[in-house]
Structure 1
Amino acid sequence: MVAATSRSSAQLIAGGMLLAHRRHRSDPSTLSLIRKAFIDARECGLAMGIWVAVASAT
């Protein structure tokens, strides 16, 4: 539903992050690991985006 109603790529990404967060909230260590491994903000954002995409697909 989020993908169908999003009007921009930012809304689509935010919706995906919300879905991934709800689905994997029992695994906060993954997000913590990503934040520690990727210090550069751009790389961290890319890594989280990939994580969200993979988490949303499963």
Structure 2
Amino acid sequence: MLQPDVAARVRDAFPVLGSPVGLAAEATVCAQLLQTVARGDNLVLEGQLRIWAGELRHR
């Protein structure tokens, strides 16, 4: 997530991420990671996770 080129390669490798099932999976993982931030872990990811969550809401 912190590397846009890596994120793009992942999306290319796993086209299911663009499907409704993939969207549900992404939303689940994003929510779980945001919970870790709320507990004080993975703080470096917080900004990117919030951007990702916003993007997911508009898909």
> Which TM-score applies when normalising by structure 2?
0.36
Larger relative contact order (CA 8 Å, sep ≥ 6): 1
TM-score (normalised: structure 1): 0.36
